[in-house]
C-alpha cells in the first residue's frame, strides 16, 4: 500500500532515540522528510547522521528544542516551516518513559514530580501542536499523532495515569477543533516497548526483586496477549500509517499498540 507520504514534511519530537527515532526511520522509508527534535544537541546530531547514512537521499533536519519552553518550541516551528515552506505531520513523542523508575507511593509523591510529568508530556505536546497546527490548517491537510501509553488504561502510577489520560483528552479536543480544516489527530498507547532502554530496565527490576533477568522478561511478557514485548519498529509501523492520508477517517481516538492489554476490556 502506498501511504502517500512521499515528500511529506514531518516533525518528530523525542526523535533522538527509542520510539521517536524508530518512527522517524519509518517516515523516511515512506519518502517523507523528517525534522528530528530533542533537547540534547549532540545526541540529536548523531541520530540525524545515522538516519542519513541509513537511507540514501534521506532529508533530515536536526532541530534542538526543549518542549517545556514555549519560545524554544516556537523557534523550532519557525525553523522547520522556513526550511520546507510548511509542515504536514507532527508526532509528539518527547516524554520521560513512565517505566524509567518505580512510581512512588502516595505519601512520597511530590507535586513537583506530577507537574514535571504534566509539563513535559501534556503541555509539551500542546505547545508543539499550537505552533505547527495552524500551518496544517491553512493548507487544508495535516496529521498529528500523540504518543501516550497504557498507563491511561490502568492503575499503578498516579502521575503516569494522569498525564496519559490528559494526552488522550487533549487529542480528542484538538481533533474536534482541527477536523474541519482537514487535520486529523490521534493518540497511540504503546505498552513497554523493546528499545535501547529495556535492558537497563530489566536489569534494575531483576536486582530490586532478587530475580533473574529472564524471570523479569517473562513477567513483562505475560502482561501482553502476544506473551512478548512489541518492538519500537512495530509501534512505528502503526504510527506511520496514522500519519498518512490513508488514515483520514481515524481521528480523535486512541489506538493501543502494545501486544494486547490482558485482563482489560475497552469499547
Please state the rounded mean pLDDT for residues 230-238.
97
- pLDDT value of position 109: 86
| DSSP H helical ranges for the chain | 18-29, 41-54, 70-84, 111-117, 124-139, 158-178, 198-209, 213-222, 232-242
- The tens digit of pLDDT for each residue in 177-208 reads 999 999 999 999 999 899 888 898 899 888 98
pTM, rounded to two decimals? 0.95
For the stretch 67-125, pLDDT in tens is 999 999 999 999 999 999 999 999 999 998 765 556 788 888 889 888 988 999 999 99
What percent of the chain has pLDDT above 70? 98
Average pLDDT over residues 221-240: 96
Residue with cell 517473562: 218
CA-CA distance, 150 to 263, in Å (whole number)?
13
Residue 43 above 90 pLDDT?
yes
Judged by average pLDDT, the poorest of 48-57, 145-154, 231-240 is: 48-57
Pairing of strands 60-64, 33-38: parallel
- Distance, in Å, from the CA atom of 136 to the CA atom of 34, rounded to the nearest integer, reads 16
The full set of domain ranges for the chain reads 9-192+232-248, 194-228
The mean per-residue pLDDT over the stretch 230-246 comes to 97
Q: Could you give the CA distance from residue 162 to residue 146 in angstroms, rounded to a whole number? A: 15
Give the span between the Cα atoms of 266 and 152, in whole angstroms: 12
Q: Which fold has domain 9-192+232-248?
A: Rossmann fold (3.40.50)
Alpha carbon 246 to its chain's center: 20
Whether 248 has a pLDDT exceeding 70, the answer reads yes
pLDDT of residue 99: 58
Who's near 244: CB < 8 A, 6+ residues apart?
3, 4, 5, 30, 143
pLDDT of 178 reads 98
What mean pLDDT value characterizes the chain?
94
Q: Are 91 and 239 in contact (CB under 8 A)?
A: yes
> What pLDDT shows up at residue 98?
63
Q: How far is 213 from 210, CA to CA, in rounded Å?
A: 10
Q: Please state, for a pLDDT cut of 90, what percent of the chain lies above it.
A: 78
Expressed in angstroms, the distance from the first to the final Cα of the chain is: 28
> Which pLDDT does position 104 carry in this prediction?
81
The residue whose grid cell reads 529472564 is 214
Q: How far apart are CA 13 and CA 134, in angstroms?
A: 18
Give the pLDDT score at 55.
78
- Tens-digit pLDDT profile for residues 115-162: 988 999 999 999 999 999 999 999 999 999 999 999 899 888 888 899
Q: Which three cell numbers stand for residue 51?
A: 538516519
Amino acid at each position: 500500500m502506498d501511504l502517500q507520504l512521499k515528500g511529506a514534511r514531518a516533525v518528530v519530537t523525542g526523535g533522538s532515540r527509542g520510539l521517536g527515532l524508530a518512527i522517524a526511520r519509518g517516515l523516511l522509508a515512506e519518502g517523507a522528510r523528517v525534522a528530528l527534535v530533542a533537547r540534547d544537541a549532540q545526541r540529536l546530531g548523531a541520530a540525524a547522521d545515522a538516519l542519513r547514512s541509513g537511507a540514501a537521499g534521506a532529508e533530515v533536519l536536526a532541530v534542538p528544542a526543549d518542549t517545556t519552553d514555549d519560545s524554544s518550541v516556537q523557534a523550532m516551528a519557525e525553523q522547520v516551516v522556513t526550511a520546507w515552506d510548511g509542515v504536514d505531520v507532527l508526532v509528539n513523542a518527547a516524554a520521560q518513559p513512565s517505566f524509567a523508575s518505580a512510581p512512588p507511593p502516595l505519601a512520597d509523591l511530590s507535586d513537583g514530580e506530577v507537574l514535571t510529568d504534566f509539563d513535559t508530556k501534556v503541555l509539551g505536546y500542546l505547545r508543539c501542536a499550537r505552533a505547527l497546527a495552524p500551518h496544517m490548517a491553512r493548507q487544508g491537510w495535516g496529521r498529528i499523532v500523540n504518543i501516550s501509553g497504557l498507563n491511561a488504561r490502568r492503575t499503578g502510577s498516579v502521575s503516569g495515569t494522569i498525564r496519559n489520560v490528559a494526552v488522550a483528552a487533549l487529542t480528542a479536543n484538538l481533533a474536534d477543533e482541527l477536523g474541519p480544516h482537514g487535520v486529523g489527530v490521534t493518540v497511540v498507547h504503546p505498552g513497554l516497548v523493546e528499545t535501547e532502554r529495556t535492558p537497563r530496565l530489566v536489569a534494575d527490576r531483576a536486582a530490586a526483586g532478587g530475580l533473574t533477568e529472564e524471570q523479569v522478561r517473562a513477567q513483562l511478557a505475560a502482561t501482553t496477549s502476544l506473551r512478548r514485548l512489541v518492538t519500537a519498529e512495530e509501534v512505528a509501523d502503526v504510527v506511520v500509517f496514522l500519519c498518512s492520508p490513508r488514515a483520514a477517517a481515524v481521528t480523535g481516538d486512541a489506538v493501543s499498540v502494545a501486544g494486547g492489554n490482558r485482563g482489560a476490556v475497552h469499547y
